[in-house]
Structure 1
Amino acid sequence: MPQPADDHSLSARETELLQLLIRGYSYKMIADELQIALETVRTHIKRIYRKLQVNSATEAIYKATRGGSL
């Protein structure tokens, strides 16, 4: 099944999570702030990593801030 052309762009929710990571929030703090389950945060983070082609929060933050994604 073909992937949509826009598959690498972050959703509004993923961008929101990434902005909280940049501010130094832990996954638990993000879950509390957004009133979502911790596992939902983990799922969003995994998708962010996949879309940005990174393996850590540090890499994601660097790529997003240096690459102009945010």
Structure 2
Amino acid sequence: MSNKEQAQIATAKCETAAFTVDEVATYFRISRASVWRLLKSGALARARIGGRTVIRRLDADAFLARAAKVA
């Protein structure tokens, strides 16, 4: 198996359906406080599961797409 194939498999295993606030901060390369501001303003959608705040990957990617159009 080539290195490229191994990297693709590793990437596929790491993809998740939802992020925690910390994971979104890492994904966007911003602070946790900035993520919370986006959530509180409604710019970034969230869900509550078992008392935890999660952000669907779909919503995170949609936010990035909207932000890229503005920039």
Q: TM-score range by the shorter chain?
A: 0.3 to 0.5
Structure showing greater Rg: 2
Determine which structure has the larger strand proportion and give its number.
2
Q: Which structure ranks higher in relative contact order (CA pairs < 8 Å, sequence separation ≥ 6)?
A: 1
